[in-house]
Amino acid sequence: MRGAKLLGHQIHPMLIVFPLGMLGGSVAFDIVRLATGDIAFANVAYWLLGGGLIGGVLAAAFGVWDWAAIPNGTRAKRIGLFHAISTAAGLALFAISWGLRRSSPEFLPSAGALASSFLGLVSALVGGWFGGELVEQLGVGVHRGAHLDAPSSLFNGARREKPRPQPFGRAQLRPR
C-alpha cells in the first residue's frame, strides 16, 4: 500500500492524535464545566472544538488518500470505509456542537450542544477502533520488512533487510 508518507511514516496516523485529543478534551472540559459551574471551562471547550475540527478535516484528507491506496475488494477496504464513516460522523456531530455554541461560547452549552459532543466522541472512538483494526490486525500502513530490529525509516533508499531473528529453540542447541 502506498499512502501519503513523510520521512518514511504514514501522515494520517501522525495527524489524528491532535483532533482526537482536542475533541475528547472538549468533552472533558464540558464535564468539568457542568461539575464546577466555572465558565472558563466552557470557553476552553469551545476553542478545543474549533481546533479539533480543523485538525480533523486535515487528518481526514490524508485518510482518504491512504484509503484510496488500499486494494479494492479487500477486508481492509471495507474496514477503512467503516473507519471513515464513523470518524466523519463524529466530526459532523462535533461541528454541530460547535455551531450551537457560537453565539455564546463562554456560557453553559445547550443540551443539544452537549449531546452532540458526547455522541461525537463515541462515534470518533468507534472510528478509532476501526483505524486500530486496520493497522494492528490487517497491517495497513505497516512496512513489509517491519520487525524488532528493522533499520530506520529515515534511510528508506538505503534500507537493507536484516533477517528476522529466530526464537531460541532446539535447533540452536549444541551438544557439549
Query: Considering the domain boundaries, does residue 171 fall inside one?
Result: no
Asked whether residue 170 is domain-assigned, the answer is no
Task: List Cα–Cα distances, 136 to 117, 133, 173, in angstroms.
Answer: 28, 5, 34
Residue 164 DSSP one-character state: P
Q: Any residues with CB less than 8 A from the CB of 84 and at least 6 apart, and which?
A: 60, 63, 64, 67, 127
69: DSSP letter:
T
Q: How many residues does the chain have?
A: 176
Can you give the pLDDT at residue 170? 47
* Residue 107 domain flag: yes
- 156-159 long-range contacts (CB < 8 A, ≥24 apart) are 156/8
Task: Report yes or no on 175 lying in a domain.
Answer: no
Tell me the sheet residues that pair with 9: 6
- In the chain, the number of structural domains is 1
Which residues have CB under 8 Å from 135's CB, separation 6+? 13, 141, 142
Q: Cell numbers at residue 12, please?
A: 494520517
* Per-residue pLDDT at 165: 56
Q: What is the pTM of this model?
A: 0.81
Nearest one of 100, 91, 81 to 119, comparing CA atoms: 91
Tell me if 103 sits within 8 A of 110, measured CB to CB: no
Query: Is 47 within the bounds of a domain?
Result: yes
Per-residue pLDDT of the chain (176 residues; tens, 9 = 90+): 577 777 767 778 888 899 999 999 999 999 999 999 888 999 999 999 999 999 999 999 989 988 988 899 999 999 999 999 999 999 999 999 999 998 876 678 889 999 999 999 999 999 999 999 988 888 787 777 777 887 877 775 544 555 555 555 545 444 54
Q: Which of 46, 51, 13 is nearest to 135 (CA)?
A: 13
d(CA 6, CA 153): 10
pLDDT score at 139 = 78
Q: What is residue 104's predicted lDDT score, i.e. its pLDDT?
A: 78
**Structural domain includes residue 157:** no
Range of the domain at 74: 12-142
